[in-house]
Structure 1
């Protein structure tokens, strides 16, 4: 049985300084690096942690939080549970985000913090075959959260 894996995405002003800091902090290399984006997939503690380079002013450094699940069915079960409890959700099914094809839903907490439940369906291969060398395939930044107001609480 797959345990949910927490996901934390933060905004950073200086991507390269932040990347170096988190490589030292976690003691591992990221599993994905793109322009202005890096993903660490930690086993101990189990955590999907990402950096997103963007200015943030009053919004703060927290981009969003999430729970990674194994299957789309778990995403849909979370959607039903949240909506039955009176929360509004926003769907993003079969969407490309963070250089991976995902099914996800979004919901906001009372303070406006956005949470996602998501299942990764497919993702880019980050290494040159046989070399172990990470490659940069895309120059686009990624991982914006759901549109403002789309998943606010009712």
Structure 2
């Protein structure tokens, strides 16, 4: 089953962790000095916050899928929507190793569709093949080259 994903940039990580832990009645499942993530079942969401990125607010939305076939299926739907789709394969971001597809909706909201394949020890891999600017894990899709498949 797919899981909705929300990633917020926050100014005060500790205060935000306190707030969201109370709101969700749960402690983060991943907690790092610059990042926290809740993998919630009700609602079924991957909710992440970080201080490593842009101004406070919504960084991006997304859908976390369970396997590569589900990622490919969403990629086909994005292609059918006529938007630019930018792949990131075997990338490290948000303390995880993932295959991803990035796009933007008509308003410019970044969307990340991804399949997580393992954990990582760093927030992002600055020298790994990554579609990001190195400061945050969500790229400026409009400045990137679309996939050619």
* Shorter-normalised TM range: 0.7 to 0.9
Which string of whole-angstrom CA distances, capped at 9 and with x for unpartnered residues, describes residues 51-101 of structure 1?
0115755xx500100101100121122112211331110101111111111
**Structure 2 unaligned spans of 5+:** 125-133
Taking a change above 3 Å as real, the CA distance of residues 138 and 144 of structure 1, as seen in their structure-2 partners, is: closer
2:94 aligns with: 98
Correspondence 1:23 to 2:21: yes
TM, length-normalised to structure 1: 0.78
Contact 1:99 1:142 in 2 (8 A): no
Question: Following TM superposition, by how much is the alpha carbon of 1:148 offset from its aligned partner in structure 2, in angstroms?
Answer: 4.7
Of 116, 137, 148, which residue of structure 2 is paired with 1:144?
Answer: 137
Aligned-residue Cα RMSD (Å) equals 2.3
In structure 2, what is the Cα distance between the partners aligned to 1:115 and 1:6?
Answer: 11
For CA contacts below 8 A with separation 6 or more, give which structure has more relative contact order: 1
Conserved 8 A contact 1:13-1:55: no
TM-score, normalisation: structure 2: 0.81
Structure 1 spans left out of the alignment, 5+ residues: 125-136
